[in-house]
Structure 1
Amino acid sequence: MLSFEQKIEIFASFPELERKDVSMGRVNFHYEGSAFDKKLIGFHLHPNGNGFAFAGRLQDVDTDDRGYVNIRDYGAEELRELIARSIHSLTREKAPEPEEGLVETWEDPNKSTLTLKFEDDMWYVFAGMNLDGAFETYEEAREYLIDEGFAKR
């Protein structure tokens, strides 16, 4: 188990995170660059070694109902990877320049695929030949695909 100081050091090594000291000696780390309402990546890191990290947008991490995972027994590399993935999951990907006929393939953990296409000033999600959804912006389509468990290939 990492000490409180080691956990603080790992979180602090990410320049995009801002440390905020809270009550009872606990520390939070905020990601102000988040593209979503969620900004709290490190939650209630406590001198007793307990603490939580946000993983609510990561499909392969078991979280509580608020999207946090207890990091009490995480090792250094495991914690670094979790923080990096969490930050990435909250970072809005720059939308590609809309160009008629632009196509992206998205895949879920079961290897099912959906296709995202830009046509007629709209973003369309297709499951094979069937229309699954239509969105006005790339960001809306991307968020929908991520929420459904898909990642861009």
Structure 2
Amino acid sequence: MLTFEEKLSIITESFPELERKNVSLGRVNFHYNESSYDQKNVVYHLHPNGNGFVYAGNMTGYQTNDKGMVNIRDFTEKALRSTIRKSILSLTPKESEHDHEPKEEVWINDNTVTLTLLKEDDMWNVYADDDLDGTFHSYKQAAHYLEEEGFTRI
């Protein structure tokens, strides 16, 4: 079993993208501030007795607790590095369907009424000429609304 000091050394030297946060009882957390999720803790409650947890909630092959954490008490150096790297990758923003969404589309219905779907800031707005018809949090929501209303993309 790696000691507390060995685990700290591995984490701080291998993962500069993690920010150390000292917590109560001598425990240490390491946050990944670039996380694309609310989850920021990668290493949680690393304790001077060597016990601690790594977030594995988005990963397969790990037995996790109800917070998505895997216990690292008996991890080898290789297992610790690998699990932390996978955890960081699981929290890293990925190229997504949003990167390929159009910024503006025109939709039409059977009566030749046209609506414009336009991305403005982080919202999707539907316009009938200059009048705002609806605002949505995602392209998917806006497209679903337009389809339900009988519109198709031109």
TM over 0.5: yes
Question: In the alignment, what sits opposite 1:28?
Answer: 29
1:59-101, CA deviations, whole angstroms, 9 ceiling, x for partnerless residues? 211100100011000000000000000000001112365279x
Alpha-carbon distance in structure 2 between the residues aligned to 1:99 and 1:55: 30
1:88-107 equivalent positions in 2, closer than 5 A: 88-95=89-96, 97-98=99-100
Equivalent residue for 1:49? 50
Q: Distance in 1 between matches of 2:100 and 2:28?
A: 42
Which letter maps to 2:32? Y
**Structure 2 Cα separation of the partners of residues 26 and 43 of structure 1:** 8
For 1:55-134, list aligned pairs within 5 A. Answer: 55-95=56-96, 97-98=99-100
> What is the SS of the residue equivalent to 1:28?
strand
Percent identity, aligned pairs only?
52
Tell me, in whole angstroms, the C-alpha distance in 1 between the residues paired with 2:101 and 2:49.
53
Displacement after TM superposition at 1:54 (Å): 0.5
The structure whose residues are more often helix, as a share, is 2
Long gaps (5+) in structure 1: 101-134, 138-153
The runs of at least 4 aligned residues of structure 1 exceeding 3 Å deviation read none
Secondary structure in 2 aligned to 1:87? Answer: helix
Rg comparison, structure with higher value: 2
Kindly state the Cα deviation for residue 136 of structure 1 after the two structures are TM-superposed: 2.9
Alpha-carbon distance in structure 1 between the residues aligned to 2:71 and 2:65: 9
Tell me the SS of whatever aligns to 1:50. coil
SS at match of 1:44: strand
Question: Is the 2:101–2:139 Cα contact (8 Å) retained in structure 1?
Answer: no
Count of residue correspondences: 105
* Equivalent AA in structure 2 for residue 11 of structure 1: I
Tell me the amino acid that sits aligned with residue 6 of structure 2.
Q
Partner residue in 2 for 1:3: 3
